[in-house]
Amino acid sequence: MKLRHPLSGLVYESREDGNVEVSDDQGRSGVFTTAGRWIRGELREADPHFAGFVAGPMINAAGRIQGSRGSDKKAAPARTGVAVPTFDTRNDGPRAGRHKEREMDLGLDGRKALVTAATRGIGLAIAQTLADQGCDLAICARGEAGLETARKDLEGRGAKVFTQVVDVADGDALTAFVSGAAEELGGLDVYVSNASAGGGPGEKAWQPTFEIDVMGAVRGVGAATPHLAQSDAGSVVIISSTAALEYLGMPQAYNAMKAALISFASDMSQALAPQGVRVNTVSPGPVYFEGGNWEMIKQAMPAMYESALAQCAIGRMGTPEEVARAVVFLSSPAASLVTGANLVVDGGFTKRSAF
């Protein structure tokens, strides 16, 4: 495909190797990836969205998808029914994901991402999915053993990994970790604030939930902003919860703090837009995994577990991987027009009408 950009007048042409060549009327040209990253040539800047469009998949006469990297595969037939899809984002070897043909290129190859509390559950799944999409990672947690296990897993997926033991409630430690991560990775493109103190009744739960959930996000985003602003696709995703949206069994700090995060992210999306940084939240519903809260609730309070399960419209609770895919999409250049949004990922657990 060959098209002229409507604003700059530059000509974008897809190449056989899957990249895009951009040229001007003076004979200068440059070669870029489909995410708009410069590879070589005199021209060093390109519109990443236009590059991705020009090199996007096309259906040829044989009914096959001609992909952006020259692949040729059969177009999938339309699907019907309600079967739960499964996805294998794992690659065949170190760094393979950076060149492997994907159904949808999120533009994350070579990006630098930081995820807090990323050694188990949703946080680990987010880090794994980012690694499978070609990102290098910085992760933190309070336990050294969990970090080491996660590091080996992520490096096995081809990512460069920077780890550090951090208590997110310690503002100085968190700020130092963010700065160190940006230096070690060579910048930051994605910041995911995932750390949470969890639920709990009574007054004693308010202070730790405020320090970890709310101030952890506030301090972390503040420290990351100068680095994200230098990216051509800076993005923040804050993990909230459906507990912020509807009554979850009892009044507790967790519900109020998760609601505060949605408001904070909405404000920051406006404040950081001029610097090219998008800010969104993801609110998971009940997520079941081994060692997680809902497994413990199932064992200790089976009636509460069954009640929550019955509220899931799809007939089951979510998985960390399903939440991670939503987070990674929202954090990627593929969601470049989305900022200030709260994406609910709950299988129909909440029943409100959201406008």
Residues identified as active-site: 240-241, 254, 258
- CB count within 10 Å of CB 119 equals 23
- For residue 288, what are its two tokens? 């079941």
Which stretches of 232-303 are assigned E, i.e. beta strand?
A: 234-239, 277-284
Q: Which of 66, 57, 52, 51 is nearest to 12 (CA)?
A: 51
Q: Are strands 72-74 and 64-66 parallel, antiparallel or unpaired?
A: antiparallel
Non-local (6+) Cβ contacts of 167 within 8 A are: 142, 173
Q: Fill in the DSSP letter of residue 333.
A: G
Residue 25: half-sphere exposure toward Cβ, Cα within 13 Å = 4
Task: Report the SS3 class of residue 59.
Answer: strand
Q: Residues in the chain, how many?
A: 355
d(Cα 352, Cα 355) in Å, to the nearest integer?
Answer: 10
Task: Please write down the HEC assignment for all residues of 274-312.
Answer: HHCEEEEEEEECCECCCCCHHHHHHHHCHHHHHHHHHCC
Cβ(75)–Cβ(59) under 8 Å? yes
- Tokens 């096959």 — which residue? 64
Non-local (6+) Cβ contacts of 148 within 8 A are: 163
